[in-house]
Chain A
Amino acid sequence: MAERVERPVLDVSRLPTVGFGSRSITWWGIMGMMAIEGTVFVLMIASYFYLHSRNSEWPPHRNPPDLLWGTVNLVLFLISVVPSEWYRRRARKGDLRAVQIGLVLVSLFGIGNVIVRYFELWHLNTDWSIDAYGSAVWTLMGLHVLHLLTDLVDTIVLTVIFFTPLVEGKRFQDAEENAAYWYFVVGFWIPIYLVIYWAPRWLHA
């Protein structure tokens, strides 16, 4: 056999194996999920206003949802961003202790959000089966509950993993991305809160 000429190589053996943000594959995956779920939220909000345009009275024959619990939850969500951002930044440095503390805190916040959400549901002043307004309010709320619960379960599972010997660079990536997803849940609560609680008041005037 003839002597083979060595092909030139592109050596990648020194490239990092742990990268954050757009360097991480799972970060892109999470962004994709957010794009999908964000579109669902946006279309559901559009449906709410479409139904409003088909009704002369909004909300029909009843009071808008009570403001208290929804606003409490909004405040709680906004405060939770502080520990979340703190552990997200520390995750990029591989700070195990900070990430453990941050994840526990954010899990507790999530549990608090779920409890307040329970009270919110009792003060919507409507039922999903009475009319289309009620269906739209409950579906918007239901979509957000679904995301809140999913992210809470995610966060708790990740918290548990962070107290086992299974921690590695990939898990710090997960922690960073978990925080990003939490911002999505928090971020979409702002327009949904405005639609559910304030739109009926403003549209009514």
Chain B
Amino acid sequence: MITTTAIESTAELTEQERAQAARLEAVWREPTGFWGWFKAVHHTTIGKRYAVTAFGFFLLAGLLAGGMRLQLAFPEAHILSNDLYNQFFTMHGSTMMFLFAVPMMFEAMSVYLVPLMVGTRNIAFPRLNAYSYYLYLFGGLMFYVAFACNTGADRGWFSYVPLAGPDYGPGKRPDFWAQLITFTEVSGLAVAVETIVTVFKLRAPGMSLNRIPIFVWGQVVVAFMVIFSLPGVVLSSTMLLMDRTCNTQFFNPAAGGDVLLYQHLFWWFGHPEVYIIFIPGAAIISTIVTSFSRRHVFGYLVLVLSLVATGFMAFGLWVHHMFATGIPQIAESYFTAASMVIAIPTGAQVFCWIATIATGKVVLKTPMWWAIGFFFVFIMGGMTGMFVASVPVDLQVHDTYFVVAHFHYVLIGGAVFPLFGAITYWFPKVTGRMLNETLGQLTFWLFFIGFNITFFPMHLVGIRGMPRRVYTYQPNMGWTTLNQVESLGYVLLFLAVCVLLVNVSRSLRSGAIAGPNPWNAGTLEWATSSPPPQYNFLHLPTVNGREALWDAAPNQPIVAGLPDDARSFLITRTLDAEPEGRDEFPGPTIWPFLAAVATSIAFIGSIFTPWGITIGAIPVAITMIGWFWPERQPAQRRRAREIWQSE
């Protein structure tokens, strides 16, 4: 491993710097012990928890997929009952979308990496961040406890009415689904606000808008999309819950309601959701391609504008999920055109990546392999996306396995391939140790081949008319062989993930020591030791170019003058990142955890009675007031040193 960046390791620290590090260490130390776990507020701690939890849900949902593949490997099989199969595919889809994809690609990545990449010491609103994690965790646990009690959601990952409504969805299964949405949306929205504020106000001096790393741009675009799209599903799932528990009539046609209102609101969120998952993937690819092509990325401005354009356009496509619902033809034409247009910014990104690779000195390590796999798989998915954007084709393949194949190509291609690349790429930063290269490449090839064996035949079986969401099929349909091939592919995917887990567990114990910057990359997270200390940077950095470490001047200035007896941070201006103020992060506390417990009781209670929300709001309010109540000592310390802005 070569480390050429001019970053001091501990051995080179002066006496003075050692003393400073000790002071920062004392101020930033996360609490220890059993209760300490519930008080932690540092973004690296919470980010790791998000990542591990989301990966746990990924494994669970993957096992559910295995159950489905086993069932479908043989015609007229009875390994899973039809009822259990319904729960399996709904739990699989809902988990992958709400408990894995968004929490992993957005929350985990953003919370861990964005503050490091912009050169600050914590994420904005660290207590809100802790609160968001606990809500996410509790929501997921609730969902799986219900599943273990035979109350797993079973109406598809979008829980359409009327199937999920009070007339056709008896029991509590759709209610648990609706509240899972509530839990995950609150956590997603919280992280969205934290991300935007961190990037807008906490960047290192010199990191003007045109120097923000593309990965960070991607997460900001996603954060804005979360803010404007999630309210759609907030409303649709709340209306669903209210129709079921307090007799509102939103989706009851007999009382002036309308089932398509549900679909409009759901897809107002659901389509941007696809890009919420994909944009971080694209941003990861830009990062990996830059680092492993050993040059500044080609077309930075095009890449950033493509991400922003995708973010806007994603809000104009939702009706293409509803082509089969009998909407007016003029609307169909518009949404077909819009669906075609969104391929343009993605295409522009692909060309920039190709140009970067073609003109760089490519280093073919595991993360780069995942990027190459991403090109192949995602572009395949994009192609079939163009097919289904066209109304006649869509009507033909609607609700068949062709669609299943299409969205697994875009979602696994657009998110899981970049994610596995990202795991290999940032594992050394997070843990301080390298993953094994041989095992990493073995994972890649097993996954890449297994993926195509599993999902490519789904196009064919879909064209042959096999519908989605059927628990079995007759032997004379001509689908048996293709289904068996798909199930064999699953075995390879399973092995790939096993190898990854072995690699991770071995490397955690005995992997090669990574050092601060094992890939010799250019962004700021590599400017500090691996894993980063809890104050992130001994000296807050300043930035001189798009790749902060590659472009640093020989004597790049550092920030001085922040008090090191408090969790101080620097506020900079949004556009040019000129320093404009100082503030303090709040420290560790149990309140966000207590507030999350109170909120969870209210959410889960409302599945059973509307009073759950009204009475449940009281403990929520009490814990929130406890959380916001100022502490005397820090208040006095701050007051003694206050400098007010001049008007």
Contact = CB atoms under 8 A, between A and B. Distances in A.
Contacts of A129: 246-249
Contact of A132 (B250, B625, B630, B643): B250
Contact of A19 (B202, B571, B630): B571
B557 interface: yes
A29 B644 contact: no
Which of B232, B574, B643 has the most chain A CB atoms closer than 10 A to its own CB? B643
Interface stretch (B63-71, B339-347, B558-566): B558-566
Interface in B541-585: 542, 555-562, 570-571, 574, 579-583
Given A14-B643, A28-B196, A39-B227, A23 B581 contact: yes
A139 B248 contact: yes
Nearest to A135: B248
B139 interface: no
B445 interface: no
A17 B581 contact: yes
Given A50-B264, A166-B632, A23 B571 contact: yes
B193 A32 contact: yes
A10 B571 contact: no
B249 A17 contact: no
A78 interface: no
Contacts of B560: 9-13
B330 to A, nearest CB: 16
A51 interface: yes
B201 interface: yes
A15 B258 CA distance: 56
Which of A22, A25, A39, A139 has the most chain B CB atoms closer than 10 A to its own CB? A25
A9 B628 contact: no
Contacts of B202: 25
A51 B632 CA distance: 52
A205 interface: no
A167 B630 CA distance: 9
B112 to A, nearest CB: 20
B231 interface: yes
Given A7-B558, A10-B559, A55-B256, A35 B228 contact: yes
B314 to A, nearest CB: 15
B189 interface: yes
Nearest to B255: A131
Nearest to B195: A32
A142 B412 CA distance: 40
B363 interface: no
A71 B556 CA distance: 62
A37 B258 CA distance: 24
A116 to B, nearest CB: 20
Contacts of B264: 50
Given A10-B205, A12-B562, A18-B644, A25 B571 contact: yes
Contacts of A133: 256
A16 B645 contact: yes
Interface stretch (A40-48, A98-106, A117-125, A179-187): A40-48
Nearest to A59: B256
Interface string B207-233: 000000000000000000001101110
A29 B197 contact: yes
Nearest to A22: B574
A132 B258 contact: yes
Contacts of A112: none
A153 interface: yes
B239 interface: yes
B397 interface: no
B14 interface: yes
B265 A47 contact: yes
A47 B263 CA distance: 12
Contacts of B14: 4
Interface stretch (B77-85, B151-159, B496-504, B634-642): B634-642
B228 A39 contact: yes
A200 interface: no
A128 B200 CA distance: 42
Contact of B558 (A10, A43, A54): A10
Which of B574, B638, B639 has the most chain A CB atoms closer than 10 A to its own CB? B639
B579 A135 contact: no
Interface in B230-249: 230-232, 234-235, 239, 242-243, 246-249
Contact of B639 (A4, A11, A135, A168): A168
Interface string B467-510: 00000000000000000000000000000000000000000000
A36 interface: yes
Given A47-B265, A129-B248, A170-B638, A9 B559 contact: yes
B554 to A, nearest CB: 9
B579 A128 contact: no
A145 B580 CA distance: 38
B645 A20 contact: yes
Contact of A39 (B12, B231, B581, B645): B231
A47 B557 CA distance: 54
A54 B256 contact: yes
A11 B256 contact: no
A130 to B, nearest CB: 7
Nearest to A149: B617
Interface in A29-79: 29, 32-33, 35-37, 39-40, 43-44, 47, 50-51, 54-55, 60
Interface in B578-606: 579-583
Contacts of A203: none
B642 A12 contact: no
A130 B256 CA distance: 9
Contact of B256 (A36, A60, A170): A60
A139 B242 contact: yes
B124 interface: yes
B50 to A, nearest CB: 19
B300 interface: no
Interface string B180-200: 000000000100110011001
B333 interface: no
A74 to B, nearest CB: 24
A36 to B, nearest CB: 5
Contacts of B227: 32, 35-36, 39
B249 A130 contact: yes
Nearest to B247: A129
B19 interface: no
Nearest to B6: A7
A12 B559 contact: yes
Given A39-B228, A51-B258, A19 B645 contact: yes
Contact of B125 (A4, A12, A29, A40): A29
Contacts of B583: 17, 25
A134 interface: yes
Contacts of B248: 128-129, 132, 134-135, 138-139
16 contacts: A11-B561, A16-B581, A16-B646, A17-B582, A17-B643, A20-B645, A35-B227, A44-B235, A50-B264, A51-B257, A128-B246, A132-B256, A135-B239, A135-B243, A139-B239, A170-B638
Given A18-B642, A128-B247, A153-B625, 20 more contacts: A9-B560, A10-B558, A15-B582, A17-B581, A22-B574, A25-B202, A28-B200, A32-B192, A43-B232, A51-B258, A94-B644, A131-B249, A131-B256, A132-B250, A135-B242, A135-B250, A136-B250, A166-B632, A168-B636, A169-B638
Interface of B: 12, 14, 124-125, 128, 189, 192-193, 196-197, 200-202, 205, 227-228, 230-232, 234-235, 239, 242-243, 246-250, 252, 255-258, 261, 264-265, 268, 539, 542, 555-562, 570-571, 574, 579-583, 621, 625, 628-630, 632, 635-636, 638-639, 641-647
Rank and list the top 10 A-B pairs by shortest CB-CB distance, nearest first.
A13-B561, A32-B193, A135-B248, A129-B247, A132-B257, A9-B560, A132-B256, A39-B231, A168-B639, A16-B645
